[in-house]
Amino acid sequence: MTQGLGPELEHTPGRSYDPTQKPPPFGRQLKQYFALDKEYVNLNHGSYGSLPLPLLQESSKLAFEIERNPTIVAKLIGSDVDEVVFVPNASHAANKVLRNFEWRDGDLVIGPSTTYGQAFNVLKYLSDRSEQPKPTLVSIQYNFPLTDAEIIETFRTQLRQYKREHAGTQFTDVPSLSPGFTADVSARKNKIVAVIDGFTANPGALMPWRELVRICHEEGVWALIDAAHSIGQEPNINLREAQPDFWLSSCHKWFFAKRGCAVLYVPERNQHLMKSSIPTSHEYTGTNFAKQHELPSHTHESALALREWLGGEQTIYDYCHTLALEGAQRLAQVLSTKVMDENGELTVYMPNVQLPLPIEKQPGQVYSPELIAEINALFTRQLLLEWNTYTTHYFHNGAWWCRCSAQVYNELSDFEYLGKALVATCENVVEKLFS
């Protein structure tokens, strides 16, 4: 138990930070600014984030002023302040958008097969209505490893395929930037809404989402970008340029904000669709987007200040990205397997490495859903409780993989340690479940 680490007003070494002094180098020495257990080798920053101590201390103060500052985030993502609101988490943001659409029978909603489980479930829920109106749910199949070019081709091909299959439907309700957009409401029949991952979760891959948005524009498809992992990881997000119809990201993952804080971006041209916040607010009048979402932004200024002090976004990117690539190579060596991202396109801070477990060429050949669940549970317990380390682990396209997170407090040796842990755990899995 971390006794005596109470918040203090003075900057004391190791407890808060002195902005007039240079920060220590990235790696082991930065761990003191995070509240993680000393011995815990955290290679899973991506799941829940890790709140730096200065921010944790600040949030403990009784007199903690909750700042409303969408300006910081808007600037970071290249949008206007009035196009950005804060919501509790990414799932909430996705639900806000998808549940505000007034669906009609015949509408298509497209999710990627690799979409975060919870995001996919809201699509399912909407299409599961026992009566009208319910959109039809279809999915784009992504089987990694894939290159950017392959991802783009997959998306374009399958999208066109679905349009062909539903050729009898008049998809005339297109976004305002698409050809064929009409201001005549009565002329708008059905619509296609695509949920596109900016980053997939498992695998952790940066998607060529800008290109996918462009395809959506051409094809008259509404594009919601689930970029939960983007803010604080993806460099140069420029929404004004990319022009997605909706975009969302978690601030408490890579941006060092306190759990739970996410940002939802809705460009002005689409705000009329977001009729109500969720829950509906006192300020509901039918459309006033920003006013309906007045929520605190939880330490954004402090998070930004800390990141600036550490060296700024570019410095953080350079360190974490390099470590992600090198760490993955080292891990693959230790495991005698391979990295998923062969040409480096898919990786920012989260590399994916194959695990030394049997591969299946046909679904069901080796693994049943029950076995997969058992293996996942075993991994969780052994890694966390016996080895005091973690990375997410998942079954995809016939093989087992792990997704690591490279953060400013990580070093190459962390990946080596993880490798050791994974070798032992996989041997255990094979012994227990395959003998």
Partner 1 sequence: MPIPKLSPTPGESYDASQKPPPFGHPLKQYFALDDDYVNLNHGSYGSLPLPLIFAVNKWNYEIERNPDVFHRLTYQSLLDKSRAAVAKLIGAETDEVVLVPNATHALNIVLRNFEWREGDLLIGASTTYGAVGNTIRYLADRSEQPRPAMVNIEYNFPLTHAQIIDLFRAKIREVKHTYANVQFTDVPPLSAGFDKNAVDKKNKIVMVIDSITANPGALMPWQEMCRIAREEGVWTVVDGAHSIGQEYNINLSEAKPDFWLSNCHKWLYAKRGCAVLYAPKRNQYIIKSSIPTSYEYVSPSSPAFKEKGTNFVMQHEWTGTMDETQFITVPDALAFREWLGGEKAIYDYCHQLAMDGGKKLAEVVGTRVLDEDGELTATMSNVQLPLPVEKKRGEVYTTEQLYQINNFLKEKLLKEWKTYAAHYWHNGAWWCRCSAQVFNELSDFEYLGKAFNAVCKEAEETILKKSV
Provide the binding-site residues for partner 1, judged by CB under 8 A. Answer: 1-7, 9, 34-37, 40, 42, 44, 47-51, 56, 59-63, 88-92, 94-95, 99, 102, 104, 117-118, 121-122, 124-125, 128-133, 250, 252, 258-260, 275-276, 278-282, 284, 286, 380-381, 384-385, 390
**Residue 2 burial (10 A CB sphere; 0-12, 13-18, 19+):** exposed
Inter-CA distances, 93 with 11, 71, 277, 338, 391, Å: 36, 19, 10, 35, 26
Determine contact, residues 264/230, Cβ cutoff 8 Å.
no
Q: How far is the CB of 40 from partner 1 (least distance, A)?
A: 5
Q: How far is the CB of 153 from partner 1 (least distance, A)?
A: 30
Looking at beta carbons only, is 155 or 222 nearer to partner 1? 222
Looking at beta carbons only, is 251 or 325 nearer to partner 1? 251
Looking at beta carbons only, is 36 or 152 nearer to partner 1? 36
Whose CA is closest to 51, among 64, 72, 35? 35
End-to-end CA, the chain: 41
Q: Where on the phi/psi map is residue 180: left (φ > 0), alpha (ψ -120 to 50), or beta? A: left
Q: How far is the CB of 190 from partner 1 (least distance, A)?
A: 13
Looking at beta carbons only, is 64 or 309 nearer to partner 1? 64
- To 5 degrees, how large is the angle CA 345–CA 339–CA 385? 120
Determine contact, residues 199/229, Cβ cutoff 8 Å.
yes
Looking at beta carbons only, is 384 or 430 nearer to partner 1? 384
Q: How far is the CB of 27 from partner 1 (least distance, A)?
A: 19
Q: How far is the CB of 87 from partner 1 (least distance, A)?
A: 9
Determine contact, residues 218/161, Cβ cutoff 8 Å.
no
Q: How far is the CB of 99 from partner 1 (least distance, A)?
A: 7
Tokens at residue 155, please? Answer: 């998306």
Q: How far is the CB of 288 from partner 1 (least distance, A)?
A: 12
**Residue 77 burial (10 A CB sphere; 0-12, 13-18, 19+):** buried
> What 3-state DSSP class applies to 228?
coil
- Count CB neighbours of 178 within 10 A: 15
Enclosing H/E stretch for 309: helix 300-310
Looking at beta carbons only, is 278 or 366 nearer to partner 1? 278
Looking at beta carbons only, is 97 or 212 nearer to partner 1? 97
